Amino acid sequence: MSNKLNDIVLAVTLENAVKYGGRPNKGSVIGKVLFILPQYRGKLDEIMPIIDSVIKKVSGLSIEEQMTMLKQLEHILPKKDERIDELPALPYAEEGKVITRFAPNPDFVLHLGSVRPLLFSYLYARKYNGKFIVRFEDTDPRTKKPKIEYYDLILKDIKWLGIRPDEIYYQSDRLEIYYDVARKLIEKGYAYICRCKPVEFKNYISQGKACPHREETTKINLNLFDKMVNGELLEGSAVLRIKTDLSHPNPSIRDWPALRIIDTRKYPHPRSGSKYFVWPLYNFSCPVDDHFMKVSHVIRGVEHKVNEEKQAYIYRYMGWQPPYAIHHGRISIPDGVLSKSKILNGIKMGIYSGIDDPQLATLAALRRRGFKPDAIRNVIMRGGLKPSLSVIDWSLLAAENRVLIDKEANRYFVVRNPLKAIFRFNEDRHEIHIRKHPDFPDRGHRILRLNIANKYVNIFIDEGDKQVFIIDKKLRLIGLGNFIVSGYRSDGTIKLKYLDNDVAKAKRKRFPFIHWVPADDNIDVELVYPDRRVYGYGEKELAYEHVDSAVQLERLGYFRIDELKNNKLVLFFTHN
């Protein structure tokens, strides 16, 4: 009887009890347990005694106790929105035996393109009740230099997407494992230490010839390898190569390099400093890890197709079974730069403010702009794992996201590059109440306060509405009333004449509906768009929304509140 079964039965029973006011419903518990653990279908007599005893135990608890216990166990239940049943079956997948991994290089953060291998690896592990591993591929302290903050940021991105790794590994902790396999390969005669200069080696290999070191004795090779490991050889002076087919049609596969020296006294590794001098290349560490981590399925980009061929040598020489690999196409998004080097260069040159600059399609940037993780998951999931390029349009992402945030987002007025308007107001209405959300009256109203000084009221309107304010034009200021433009003052202030507050008439006569902000009761606002920053005023109550909430600025679109500093509210544009 596995612990997993017991835990699942307990978690399902608690969840069910809490849902039904403290009393678990046996039929639903059985159904859900079998849904999560389909391997027990047809083995009811095996699980019934457990279910019975757990139901008895849970029924004896108070609902508060049930809720507390559920909180601790809830994470083992599949999330309701994981939609794993929509995934097509994975070839060669066995229940409980699917082990997948996502293997980022911590020299950058995740972006939209990273989500595909990450999400599918995770979901397939969940679908088959297997295991999902995150493995940091950080064995290049020189050119793909890992940065300590990226490890954390990547984990933050993963968590933000609602993904929980079962295990996390760091390749930089595993060097002894790679050395061990390297020595075995030398002993078996499948690897050697090449001391050629790069041009010399290229010369040999382009002619399909062996370099002079290829046939040296095991003893010499082992000895040299130890020297490399002990830091006795200089960077670039020796490399461990895997013997392949010297006439392979792809020259990059001919005796490819597996481990090389990096002088960590010059290029210290952020996790292990100068402790190690020999570092595996991706094509070596990857199959070694996939093997020892018992990875059953690998989901990665098509750019790794040739690598698969290189890695196949390791599996063959070591007598290991390779995992089943799916190579999916790249993702591109118009104008959303997804190239690591372009982004890092852009940051250096000041084109981007940082990894979360709103022009970028990094997860950090999408998060800051107010995209919800589920919108990203839905878009990526819909695209599937096809090998061709997928172009994700911003409008697609916006459409998914709009559905998710529209209910949450309260409505407010913000005017950009404001223009002043003035009107005489005889009404005794000092407070204009407007619903926070048209569909949720219970959220109440926001109040725009009018300062009626000597019967005159000053307001601000959005610069973009300038063309509406031409003499004799009728319009409606939302919530306030119907007006006609009567003229301009010499300082440019627009003069309005109040007509009435008849909304039906305004609709019937198709008056433009214009938003506005009281001139004496507002807050400074900065709107951050991907390509520009715009300043203006917002209605005061906007400042009571929490940082991080989604709001809809009427007629401008959806925004995420980024911060309130020195009485100025900064909002990031999400989408229209």
Interface residues with ligand GLU (CB under 6 A) are: 103-105, 137, 286, 298, 300, 304
Closer to ligand GLU by CB, 283 or 401: give it. Answer: 283
Q: Which is nearer to ligand GLU, 300 or 416 (CB)?
A: 300
Q: Residue type for 341, please?
A: S
Measured at the alpha carbon of residue 287, what is the angle toward residues 195 and 327, in degrees to the nearest 5?
Answer: 115
- Which one, 145 or 402, has the nearer CB to ligand GLU? 145
Closest separation in Å from C-beta 396 to ligand GLU: 24
Q: How far is the CB of 346 from ligand GLU (least distance, A)?
A: 20
How does DSSP assign 312-365, residue by residue? Answer: HHHHHHHTPPPPEEEEEPPEE-TT----HHHHHHHHHTTSSSSTT-TTS-BHHH
Least distance (Å) between residue 121 CB and ligand GLU: 8
With respect to ligand GLU, which residue has the nearer C-beta, 15 or 137? 137
Identify which of residues 137 and 539 has a Cβ nearer to ligand GLU in the complex. Answer: 137
Look at residues 488, 491, 461, 463 and name the one whose alpha carbon lies nearest to residue 476: 461
Q: How far is the CB of 333 from ligand GLU (least distance, A)?
A: 18
Q: Decide: 295 and 323 in contact? Cβ < 8 Å.
A: yes
How near is the Cβ of 308 to ligand GLU at its closest, in Å?
9
CB of 260 to ligand GLU, least distance (A): 17
Cα 560 from Cα 573, distance rounded (Å): 7
- Residue (355 or 448) nearer to ligand GLU, CB: 355
Measured CA to CA in angstroms, residue 130 lies from 36, 57, 95, 98, 124 at distances of 12, 28, 7, 5, 8
Decide if 462 contacts 420 (C-beta within 8 A): no
Q: Supply the minimum distance, in Å, between the C-beta of residue 304 and ligand GLU.
A: 5
Q: What residues form DSSP beta bridges with 279?
A: 260
Residue nearest to ligand GLU (CB): 300
Print burial letters for 33-67: b (CB count within 10 Å at least 16), e (below 16). Answer: bbebbeebeeeeeebeebbeebbeebeeeeeeebe
Distance of closest approach, residue 101 Cβ to ligand GLU, in angstroms: 7
Q: Which is nearer to ligand GLU, 385 or 523 (CB)?
A: 385
- Closer to ligand GLU at the Cβ: 24 or 146? 146
Toward ligand GLU, which CB reaches closer, 114 or 401?
114
Task: Kindly tell me which of 18 and 103 has the beta carbon lying closer to ligand GLU.
Answer: 103
> Positive or negative, the Cα torsion across 421, 425, 429, 434?
negative
**Least distance (Å) between residue 286 CB and ligand GLU:** 5
Greatest C-alpha distance within the chain: 102
Report the Cα–Cα distance between both ends of the chain, in Å, rounded. 54
Partners of 484 in the beta sheet? 474, 497
Can you tell me which residue has the tokens 């596969």? 253
Distance CA 484, CA 505 (A): 14
**Nearest distance from C-beta of residue 293 to ligand GLU, angstroms:** 12
Strands (DSSP E) contained in 453-492 are 456-461, 474-477, 481-488
